[in-house]
Amino acid sequence: MQAHVAAPAVPAIRALSTFSTEGGGLSALTKIIMDKLGMGGNEFASGGLTLAVLGAVVAGARMFGGYLVDAMKRQCIVSAEFDSNRAGTHLFTYNNRLLWLSRERAKTLPGAAGASISPERITINCLGRSRSVLESLVQTAQTHYIQKDAHRTVIYSADQYGNWRRTRSKPVRPLSTVVLDGDVKETFLKDVKEFLGSEKWYADRGIPYRRGYMFHGKPGTGKTSFVTTLAGELRFNIYVISLANKGLTDETLTELMVDTPGRCILLLEDIDAAFVSRGITKDASASSGATVTNVTFSGLLNAIDGVAAQEGRILCMTTNHLEKLDEALIRPGRIDHQVHFDLASSHQIRELFLQFYPHSPSSTSSTSSLPYTEQELIGLADEFEKKVEGGKWSMAQIQGLLMRWKSDPRGAVEAAEG
């Protein structure tokens, strides 16, 4: 059986050797190697070596061909990559140049520790050796993106992986739409603007360039609305962190704090829902409705003003129960200014009514054509102020009433209860 199998191999190898000899260069190379090894008369070895040399030549040609193709691509095609959450392939033109765009989702290992959903990769290609067309495209897109949000406040939220995600944007709200008693609004705005213009003063004295504010008061009194209005006034974006996020840890919280830009508002809402005084027992905290969080109190303090904490940003916290917070959280240096938001006073009730029903034309109001004179609207505001008792209702409750009668001020007065 073995002789039957081996018999045809000899002529085959001899034929290959003969073919190689007739082929010239490859055969000569094989013969030289065989002679050096002292195996010049071994046809089996000669045929095997010829196959090996031929395979090496083919592999080398493929490798060289790949390098050659890559080199040609680098010389003739330029590309740019971006992150995206949508897939697809497109052809388009820009400045009379043909470009093609492709997207490929980055894959993650299932079950890997700290695994996250990776954004898709966008690759834009075009023929040519210059990157100027791609640079122009990116700059144009960036300019358009910035202009689109020029008069809007962009809000970012933290996800469980320690990344910031753009969630929504809102039209800039004029500061005049916020009604507060006395000079609270003006005093606060003066403090913020003074801080923003004092970076060198802080640096010269070795003081961390940070400012913290605590807004406290009952629900619906306008704490979060005031933060949004402040952001619009300063042309800042808002970065919101919810400590109730189950995926948030000390490490991810620190990363989020570090990744915030220098000039922004960092908002920690309802801080009392996650952290209460250390004098309160754990059971008492749970029974009071405190949110379960994976962030430790020391981790929060370190993220706020630790070594890696970002400078130049404005930290705002809101709470419904200031008395429940630990003194270490609200001490000067972490919280530099506190603003109390109370239930609506008589002055606020009257001013809010006049804002809803302005007599003079307003770019933000559609009720400027109401069939009432200025004196009639002022009289209705006085009547509304008397019927709605001050210090009893929140601004949100009063606004809800006025919203039901947004084109009928007299109907709002009649619907009001003392």
Percent of the chain past pLDDT 70, that is, above it, reads: 74
Q: What is the pLDDT of residue 122?
A: 84
Q: What is the DSSP letter of 385?
A: H
- The predicted-structure confidence for 171-223, as pLDDT tens digits, reads as follows 998 888 889 988 899 999 999 999 999 999 999 999 999 999 999 999 999 99
Choose the weakest-confidence range: 109-113, 155-159, 251-255, 376-380.
Answer: 109-113
Nearest to 84 by CA among 100, 106, 109, 99: 106
- Predicted local confidence at residue 19, as pLDDT: 41
Residue 3 scores a pLDDT above 50: no
What percent of the chain has pLDDT above 90?
35
Q: So what's the pLDDT on residue 54?
A: 74
Question: Please, which residues have CB within 8 angstroms of residue 257's CB and are 6 or more apart in sequence?
Answer: 266, 303, 304, 308, 309, 310
pLDDT digits (tens, 9 = 90+) for 47-103: 666 777 777 777 777 777 777 777 776 777 767 666 655 667 788 899 888 999 887
Nearest C-alpha neighbor of 208 from the set 252, 249, 257, 256? 257
pLDDT in tens, 361-388: 554 554 446 788 889 999 999 999 999 9
Q: What is the pLDDT of residue 29?
A: 66
pLDDT computed for residue 62 by the predictor = 75
235: left (phi over 0), alpha (psi -120 to 50) or beta: left
3-state secondary structure 340-369: EECCCCHHHHHHHHHHHCCCCCCCCCCCCC
Q: How confident is the model at residue 36 (pLDDT cuts 50, 70, 90)?
A: low
Confidence (pLDDT) at 34: 62
pLDDT at 288: 52
pLDDT beyond 50 at 5: no
Residue with tokens 């606020």: 348
pLDDT for position 6? 39
Residue ranges and CATH numbers for the domains of the chain are 2-75 (no CATH), 76-107+118-148 (no CATH), 152-341 (3.40.50.300), 346-415 (no CATH)
Confidence (pTM):
0.68
pLDDT score of 12:
40
Q: State the pLDDT at residue 101.
A: 87
pLDDT at 192: 95
- pLDDT single digits (tens) 266-324: 999 888 877 655 555 445 545 555 566 788 889 999 888 887 778 889 999 999 999 98
- Given a contact cutoff of 8 angstroms between Cβ atoms, the answer to whether 232 and 172 are in contact is yes
Mean pLDDT across 320-346: 92
Give the whole-angstrom CA distance, residue 319 versus residue 271: 6
* Per-residue pLDDT at 371: 81
Confidence band (pLDDT; 50, 70, 90) for 45? low
What's the pLDDT score for residue 1?
Answer: 37
Of residues 111, 104, 47, the one with CA closest to residue 79: 104
**Is the pLDDT at 40 greater than 90, yes or no?**
no
Q: What is the pLDDT of residue 403?
A: 93
